[in-house]
A and B are shown apart, each in its own frame.
Chain A
Amino acid sequence: MNTTQSIQTTLSPNGASSGVRAGRPPALVVDGLTKRYGRRAAVDSLSFEVPAGAVAGFIGPNGAGKTTTMAMLLGLVRPTGGGATVLGSSLDNPAAYLGRVGALIETPAFWPGLSGTENLRVLATLGRHDPARIPEVLDLVGLGGRGDDTFGHYSLGMKQRLGIAAALLGDPELLVLDEPTNGLDPAGINEIRQFILDLADGERTVLVSSHILSELEHVSDWLIVIDDGSLLYQGPADGFLGRVPTVIALAPEHPGDLDRLTALVRADGHDPRREDGGLTVPVDEDDARGAAAALNRSAVEHGIVLAELHVRRPSLESQYLAAIGGSR
């Protein structure tokens, strides 16, 4: 199978300590998973691993096969080929592992005439989970005071929160969240982001898909990137982001100074490229600020006033777009 990245302790891009633990078997091992609808392959021989304890971002454009993959892992959709192991159990027997998995997939689906609490009571009873956890999970997602309201009267964001609360009922080892911030306002998105970080306590594994890449950038320490049902990247988030260098963008106040500025930068040992009336200079990520200060000092010493000077670090979005573009 195409799983070349080793499971290792990593740091997430925001510096938060990752929960990925060496020595534990992967929470998810997907091996050649395929789903065909007629001649079209929604998921095509997809293989990846998610280390235990990781917060894995699952990225791909609309129609890439993320939801179909998650649905197969949850036993909702039957694979056409391949297989997977979820928490050590085969995909062929979802009953063996779904009790330890919490999931929110597609839009949250509940009974509109029941209150939030009643909906959770139905699901807790169905899944043989402790109903005493209902107030706790409602509090956790910020619905503590709204549990008695009927689901039909909830806003989209509240429905999404209830979906996450339902996924947490069984205190799952693996949490699968498909676009969990759909319908949430910016404050809500931030809460969910923090909430995912809180959940990733080193024991629990989280697989989360989102089309808002900045969300995943802040919470993921592992990335799976797919397009057209096929894998483009899997591995530590740092590894994906590190494939594009950090650059310093600078531009002189007067366009006529651009040639002199280029020569100065070269003289300082850099390899600048011209871009939009200025320069981009690849630098070492660890010393980007120092390099920017040195370039500024050098420009000032030679009488060049800079109108622009900033460090441009690679973002998940820029990397993702580069990866998607490269695959097409």
Chain B
Amino acid sequence: MIATIRAELVKLLRRRVLVTTAVTTAVFSVASAAIVLISADAGVRRVSGRGVTVESLSNAGGGTNVFTTAVSFAGVFVFVVFIGLFAMEFSRGTFRTMLMYQPRRIRLLAGKLTALLAFSAAVLAAAELITWVAARIVAPTQDVATGSWVSADALGQAISDYGSVLFWVSGYALLGTAIAVVVRSVPLSLAIGIAWAGPFEHIVQDAWGAATRFFPGLLLEAFVAGGTSDVSAERALVTVAVYLAIAAAIAGTTFARRDVTA
């Protein structure tokens, strides 16, 4: 699996990819920090289920609270990116090519996912740092006190927030991978992913409040928000972990057993 991870990193660590990712991350982080702080000032009390107020942002975890709030809006984006990355390997025939160099299919799939998650982890760390810095610059203009943002408590909160976001990204990544491996077609898997994580779950949630306790996308949102009135973060974590185990088993079994003809 190490060789697969290293091969994937050859693609990811090219200068063009790094520059594009760095610019996108910086723009997203700065813009989202500003938007979250301005929203808090405007009296928006809940963003994606997580309380974001001038008061809450003035606490020790306020700096990274901005980060988790901003990132939680990008769930469908992460989902779609991973679906696209894996389904594209089928449609281009590059899984066929890779299997001739790494015939152990589970290792290939797991290695590719691991490399992408490692890259995502690095991007998230950079995003958290940039968001924190940008938020610290913007905060005084919105009357958000930042005195407690630099403290041991703040560091602990930052690590906790980072872990939550990483789990949230990994969840969407694994679910997206499973859809791509099962469906294989880029347009079809994207359509399914966008429809499910976008309108479908939220429409059902509007009609049936308990959906938050059962649907994977809503559970991931609830987890990264630190829990909601319908489901605690702990319950969301456990339920999502079960979904992810099932998704991994389906993706692994399908990929290992199916003919690769494209």
**In contact, A107 and B261 (Cβ under 8 angstroms):** no
- Which of B7, B92, B101, B104 has the most chain A CB atoms closer than 10 A to its own CB? B101
CB-based nearest B residue for A112: B92
- Contact mask A87-108 → B, CB, 8 Å, 1/0? 0000000110010010101111
Give the docked Cα–Cα distance between A93 and B260 (Å). Answer: 16
**In contact, B10 and A71 (Cβ under 8 angstroms):** no
A110 within 8 A of B: yes
B93 within 8 A of A: yes
| Option from A71, A95, A112, A114 in Cβ contact (under 8 Å) with B103 | A95
Question: Assuming A75-B103, A77-B260, A95-B104, is B96 touching A126 (CB within 8 A)?
Answer: no
CB distance from B107 to the nearest CB of A (A): 9
B207 within 8 A of A: no
Chain B hits for A71, CB < 8 A: 259-261
CB distance from B221 to the nearest CB of A (A): 32
Chain B hits for A118, CB < 8 A: 10-11, 14
**In contact, B94 and A110 (Cβ under 8 angstroms):** yes
- Contact mask B1-26 → A, CB, 8 Å, 1/0? 00110111011001010000000000
CB-based nearest A residue for B94: A109
Chain B hits for A161, CB < 8 A: none
**In contact, B3 and A126 (Cβ under 8 angstroms):** yes
CB distance from A46 to the nearest CB of B (A): 17
B203 within 8 A of A: no
A121 within 8 A of B: yes
CB-based nearest A residue for B93: A109
CB distance from A113 to the nearest CB of B (A): 8
Give the docked Cα–Cα distance between A110 and B10 (Å). Answer: 14
Question: Assuming A71-B261, A110-B94, is B10 touching A127 (CB within 8 A)?
Answer: no
CB distance from B257 to the nearest CB of A (A): 7
- Count A/B pairs, Cβ under 8 Å: 77
Give the docked Cα–Cα distance between A111 and B213 (Å). Answer: 40
**In contact, B96 and A125 (Cβ under 8 angstroms):** no
**In contact, A107 and B10 (Cβ under 8 angstroms):** no
**In contact, B100 and A98 (Cβ under 8 angstroms):** yes
Interface range for B? 20 to 34
**In contact, A114 and B11 (Cβ under 8 angstroms):** yes
CB distance from B12 to the nearest CB of A (A): 10
A128 within 8 A of B: yes
Give the docked Cα–Cα distance between A122 and B14 (Å). Answer: 11
Chain A hits for B103, CB < 8 A: 75, 94-95, 98
Chain A hits for B3, CB < 8 A: 125-128
| Option from B92, B101, B104, B261 in Cβ contact (under 8 Å) with A111 | B92
Give the docked Cα–Cα distance between A327 and B10 (Å). Answer: 50
- Contact mask A37-49 → B, CB, 8 Å, 1/0? 0000000000000
Question: Assuming A109-B93, A125-B3, is B10 touching A74 (CB within 8 A)?
Answer: no
**In contact, A78 and B259 (Cβ under 8 angstroms):** yes
A304 within 8 A of B: no
CB-based nearest B residue for A109: B93
Within 8 A of A (CB), among B87-110: 92-94, 96-104
Apart from A78-B257, A125-B7, 11 more pairs, CB < 8 Å: A75-B99, A77-B260, A95-B103, A106-B93, A109-B92, A118-B10, A118-B14, A123-B98, A126-B3, A126-B101, A127-B101
Q: What are 28 residue pairs bridging A and B, where the CB atoms are less than 8 Å apart in the complex?
A: A74-B99, A75-B103, A76-B100, A76-B259, A76-B260, A77-B260, A77-B261, A78-B257, A94-B103, A95-B104, A101-B100, A105-B96, A106-B93, A108-B97, A109-B92, A109-B96, A112-B92, A113-B16, A122-B8, A123-B97, A123-B98, A125-B6, A126-B4, A126-B98, A127-B100, A127-B101, A128-B3, A129-B101
